[in-house]
Amino acid sequence: MKILISNDDGYQAPGITALYEALRDVAEVEVIAPEQNNSAKSNALTLHSPLYVHRASNGFRYVNGTPADCMHIALTGLLGYRPDLVVSGINNGANMGDDTIYSGTVGAAMEGYLFGVPAIAFSQVEKNWAHLDAAAHKARELVLQMSNQKLIGDSAWLLNVNIPNLPLDKLGHVKLCRLGRRHAAEPVITQTNPRGETMYWIGAAGAVKDDADGTDFHATTQGHISVTPLKVDLTDHDHLGYWAQTVARLTARG
């Protein structure tokens, strides 16, 4: 098995080292990750400046680009082969509900998925790296179980996994979940720079709005590991009928 690893916290983050150490003896593992923190970069690609790849002393390769850049150049030429699995993380903080739209961790995994490779995004729920060893242990266990069940093959899928920051013996079950929802983000924060100009800082993510039973928020609050299969098609399939009538009326009125 060949596994390609990336993240959005940068190649020096504790989470990617933990993931690499957890998987290095179960597969041939390559790490290609951003040089800097790239949180909230989603699937952004760098189109108007060149990308450079360097190798760190530990063997990891790092790129002056986004998580999706890393996977994109890896899968379209740099790697020279198709990996069996793309794994992203372990992220410093939750990627649940609406976070998945913005997440660079999910973006790296999604880029693998878009190129037809099965992919998993791993995140720890809290942002303090507490019990990272337990999260890495669970990531390894999940990859091994999926490999044993022949789920890592030719067909692509995309899983989003969030792991509570708990010691191994306190971690609950792996639970299949849907994404919850957050309220809209907190207000922008404004400050004045030394030249009297206004600076705007993006505010914090919104509080949880839907954490009903069955959501990733609910499962992780109970100490369980949430697993959510994601898709890329943003079409509002539920309302295609409604929009068919509405759009037909618009067209009729010309």
Least Cβ distance, residue 219 to Mn ion (angstroms): 21
Least Cβ distance, residue 238 to Mn ion (angstroms): 31
Is residue 39 close enough to count as binding Mn ion by CB under 5 A?
Answer: yes
Taking alpha carbons only, the member of 95, 94, 96 closest to residue 209 is: 96
Token digits of residue 243: 């929009």
Q: Binder to Mn ion among 5, 6, 9, 120 (CB under 5 A)?
A: 9
User: Which range of residues in 9-17, 75-83, 109-117, 234-242 is near Mn ion by CB under 5 A?
Assistant: 9-17
Taking alpha carbons only, the member of 123, 79, 88 closest to residue 107 is: 88
**All residues at 6 or more sequence positions from 3 whose CB lies less than 8 Å from its CB, including other chains:** 23, 27, 28, 29, 30, 83, 84, 85, 86, 87, 143
Is residue 8 close enough to count as binding Mn ion by CB under 5 A?
Answer: yes
Taking alpha carbons only, the member of 84, 225, 233, 71 closest to residue 150 is: 84
User: Which range of residues in 6-14, 61-69, 156-164, 242-250 is near Mn ion by CB under 5 A?
Assistant: 6-14
User: Which range of residues in 8-16, 127-135, 182-190, 244-252 is near Mn ion by CB under 5 A?
Assistant: 8-16
Q: Binder to Mn ion among 42, 91, 124, 162 (CB under 5 A)?
A: 91
Amino acid at 73: I
Residues that bind Mn ion (CB under 5 A): 8-9, 39, 91
